[in-house]
Amino acid sequence: MAKTILITGASSGIGAGMAREFAQKGYNLAICARRLERLEQLQQELESKYGVQVSLKVLDVTDYDQVFEVFRAFKQEFGSIDRIIINAGVGQGRRIGKGNFEINRATVETNFISALAQSEAAVEIFREQNAGHLVMISSMSAVRGMPKHLTAYGASKAGVAHLAEGIRAELIDTPIQVTTIFPGYIRTEINEGAGKLPFEVDEKTGSRLLVAEIEKAPIKAYVPKWPWLPLGLAMKVLPLKWVNKLG
């Protein structure tokens, strides 16, 4: 029987990209996001191209009751969910102290509090099944405090990385696996207006590399591994002024 993967934020970017890659590998998919039309297009594409079962539900991850409802509905529909990828998030953020508290608050709430809700809903399902793989999409900007528009965003992504590690510590003696992924710059809709980004890869390449790492179920992974694995280690010890250049 084909395994099922639930992906949040699946209507565009790496969420949709990962859905395509997993469908190609024969997984059934539970996809959710805010934009119904995008989800329907993706569902049609994947079912016709790969013959897998794709179920969709509209989900705004800042509606916490809805997060639990949608996750439970998917579980009921498929019987079990093998992997849940917490991917939904926003890439916005503004310089601190420039009058943009509301934008920064919304960024942190969507990326962190919503990830907590998704984690609660996911682990509830996995505890019941006594099996499952939780995947948290963090960011290379979580490794150190970052300047400019990345300050609040990076802090939210550092928060989810710590959250995932805490969940892994909690479940360390169970069959439930927890993976934290730290993607580098992947060019998607979320950052299409940005200038050239350091060591950027395109959406298809990024999605393929993400899925390859997730399939190995590591404790954590930097994606793409080169140059972000050595850079990630360096970022932890380099002077902040040097790390700033990656922002």
Indicate which residues carry an active-site annotation: 153
Sequence-ordered list of residues with C-beta below 8 angstroms from that of 45, at least 6 positions apart, any chain: 20
Q: Under the phi-then-psi rule, with left for phi > 0, alpha for psi from -120 to 50, and beta for the rest, what region is 125? A: alpha
Sequence-ordered list of residues with C-beta below 8 angstroms from that of 113, at least 6 positions apart, any chain: 62, 64
Strand pairing partners for 2?
none
Tell me the C-alpha distance between 122 and 132, whole Å: 9
Q: Is 68 exposed, middle or buried (0-12, 13-18, 19+ CB in 10 A)?
A: middle
Torsion, CA 119, CA 121, CA 122, CA 124, rounded to 10:
110
Tell me the C-alpha distance between 223 and 139, whole Å: 9
Sequence-ordered list of residues with C-beta below 8 angstroms from that of 151, at least 6 positions apart, any chain: 93, 95, 96, 104, 145
Q: Is 82 exposed, middle or buried (0-12, 13-18, 19+ CB in 10 A)?
A: middle
